[in-house]
Structure 1
Amino acid sequence: MWLYLLFISIVLLPVIWKSSSLGKKWIKFSIYIAFSFAVTLLIPIWLFRPKDYRNALLPSAGFRGLCKILGLKYSIEGQEHIVRNSGSVVLINHQSILDLIVLSCLWPILPKCTVISKKEILYYVPIGLSFWLCGTIFIDRSKSSNAQNAVNKTGEIIRKTKSRVLIFPEGTRNDGPKLLPFKKGAFHLAVASKCPIQPVAVSRFTFLGPNKFEEGEIKIRILPAIPTNNCTIEDIPRLIEETYKTMSDNVDQLSTTPN
């Protein structure tokens, strides 16, 4: 039975790939998701180095290699703007589950990377465990007091360890023509840590659509840092406005620049 299904798959998949845009999209996302879950096979190795950002370096290399199968190219510019002498809060526009490729590009060039996630993800076995082992910081959003304490503690960790926390300030996936309004959480964290905001603009995934997953390029631009060392909570609206404008302008520019 399994040999029969394997034979049918080998015969049909190339036909679907060539004849149907929707079929090609389904196949590409299936490969991407299968690889994402396959990463959890590294858990036994990661157990020897728990909660360490370096655990994610190998799978991030795998995601970058996966781009060739998916027909994607990626480019990174602005590395001269990377904050070197302190931690930072790295803000990235959020578009799709393919944003894992963006993170995989940033992970090796931004020292001591980590991400923040809602606590519920921790219980999604085995993905939650793999996130935890790679140093993800989990916050309980159900209680505002706990969340604020977590922000303060995380800010202290960033400052002392000079870590980089990668955050999607829109708070949800957005494949629209304009960035969504930014949530305040990332900016509270930046002010609490007294570390710079490092904006990162990513070109829109125009290669992706309701019925297509074409070849394309993901352009990543690291922008000049925005200092917060002398900021207070009262400065958050200004920080949001400044960060939103620079990211929005650069996303637009990257998305309209020919490959």
Structure 2
Amino acid sequence: MVLGVSCSSIGVALLLLLVVVCAVSDAARYRIKFILFIILSAIAATWCIPYMFLRPKHWANALVPAWGARQIAKLLGMQFEVRGKENIVSDTGCVVLINHQSGLDLCVLAELWPVMKRCTVISKKEILYLGPFGLASWLWGTIFIDRLQAEHARNTMNSTADIINNRKAKLCLFPEGKRHSGTTLLPFKKGAFHVAIASQTPIQPVVVSKYYFINDNLKKFGSGKVYITILPPIPTTGLTKDNLTDLMDKSYEVMNKAFQETSQEVYALHVETTKAK
């Protein structure tokens, strides 16, 4: 009994110390929040693996982990608002393009998964070997690609078009290819557009407003609001590889415009208004 009380007291003391450290140090808060995000996300993704075996490689296996990720986002002080649900492609599969800002974009996928349904992602093959997390990723239908083997990568991307059509899947991709935190989107890579044209399914642009409450350079991670805007689909029926550049330009234009507008909107409503008070 005494040992139990002592352990509880130590736990409470450590928790209070953690709160104090977070309150006085931006850098400590930044690191602690990201560590919590990684640990809790791993737990949320893997605890229900036995249940996933009942329907392996099914998109719905990710719904429970997605719910967990949404609770983690709230714990970290992130609020997401999904807009434009009326624009979601429902009668076919599609290629979903999402701008890429941070590892926290996992929370964006967690918001989209139950709303858009039949979602899947492409991931590098190395993820498959990350123990329970790799197994969970395989069980919810992740498509793995070997980037070191060009021929294998091309074959996987080609077969992805069949997956989109046969499953009416929504393939979620980050067309910028890497994370960034600028005021405009990075130039898009061609891969997603090759898949969209090959499958003859629409592109569904999804724009996530800038994480104004996070600054990696200054090691700041505060609390804030994020707008996730689902834009009207861009058709690809009848397009060929000759139309690739035009399709990329059109997609970039509408997404970059929405990114700048929604970023300014969320900043004005949730930062400038707060400062005015």
Q: Which whole-Å deviations, capped at 9, do the CAs of 1:32-56 have from their partners, x for residues lacking one?
A: 1111111212212212221111111
Aligned to 1:236: 244
- The farther-off stretch of 7-16 and 149-158 is 7-16
Aligned to 1:51: 57
Cα distance between partner residues in 2 of 1:240 and 1:144 = 22
Q: Report the aligned-residue RMSD.
A: 1.7
2:257 to 226, 245, 249: 249
Residues 1:14 and 2:19 are matched in the alignment? yes
Cα distance between partner residues in 2 of 1:182 and 1:227 = 18
Cα distance between partner residues in 1 of 2:238 and 2:148 = 30
Q: Shift in Å at residue 5 of structure 1?
A: 6.0
Q: Shift in Å at residue 25 of structure 1?
A: 1.8
TM-score by length of 2: 0.89
2:145 to 139, 146, 154: 139
Q: Shift in Å at residue 7 of structure 1?
A: 5.0
Give the residue type in structure 2 aligned to 1:222.
I
Percent identical residues: 45
Cα distance between partner residues in 1 of 2:132 and 2:10 = 27
1:167 to 156, 173, 183: 173
Aligned to 2:40: 35
Does structure 1 retain, via aligned residues, the 8 Å contact 2:209–2:263? Answer: yes
Give the residue type in structure 2 aligned to 1:24.
R
1:226 to 214, 234, 258: 234
Q: Shift in Å at residue 76 of structure 1?
A: 1.0
Cα distance between partner residues in 1 of 2:231 and 2:143 = 24
Aligned to 1:23: 28
Give the residue type in structure 2 aligned to 1:171.
G
Cα distance between partner residues in 1 of 2:253 and 2:39 = 36
Cα distance between partner residues in 2 of 1:144 and 1:235 = 24
Count of residues in Structure 1 that have an aligned counterpart in Structure 2: 259
Q: Which whole-Å deviations, capped at 9, do the CAs of 1:130-155 have from their partners, x for residues lacking one?
A: 11111100112223322222122110
2:162 to 136, 156, 171: 156
Cα distance between partner residues in 1 of 2:152 and 2:56 = 24
Aligned to 1:217: 225
Larger Rg: 2
Residues 1:64 and 2:64 are matched in the alignment? no
Cα distance between partner residues in 2 of 1:67 and 1:146 = 36
1:92 to 98, 103, 106: 98
Q: Shift in Å at residue 59 of structure 1?
A: 1.2
Cα distance between partner residues in 2 of 1:64 and 1:28 = 15
Q: What runs of 5+ residues in structure 1 fail to find an aligned partner?
A: none
Cα distance between partner residues in 2 of 1:160 and 1:29 = 38
Cα distance between partner residues in 2 of 1:122 and 1:5 = 38
Cα distance between partner residues in 2 of 1:238 and 1:145 = 26
Cα distance between partner residues in 2 of 1:25 and 1:188 = 38
Give the residue type in structure 2 aligned to 1:55.
N
Does structure 1 retain, via aligned residues, the 8 Å contact 2:41–2:68? Answer: no
Aligned to 1:201: 207
Once superposed, which parts of structure 1, at least 4 consecutive aligned residues long, lie more than 4 Å away? none
Aligned to 2:274: none
Q: Shift in Å at residue 68 of structure 1?
A: 2.3
- The farther-off stretch of 91-100 and 38-47 is 38-47
Does structure 2 retain, via aligned residues, the 8 Å contact 1:17–1:24? Answer: yes
Does structure 1 retain, via aligned residues, the 8 Å contact 2:99–2:185? Answer: yes
Give the residue type in structure 2 aligned to 1:34.
I
TM-score by length of 1: 0.95
- The farther-off stretch of 36-45 and 201-210 is 36-45
Give the residue type in structure 2 aligned to 1:248.
N
Aligned to 1:117: 123
Does structure 2 retain, via aligned residues, the 8 Å contact 1:151–1:192? Answer: no
Q: Secondary structure at the match of 1:221?
A: strand
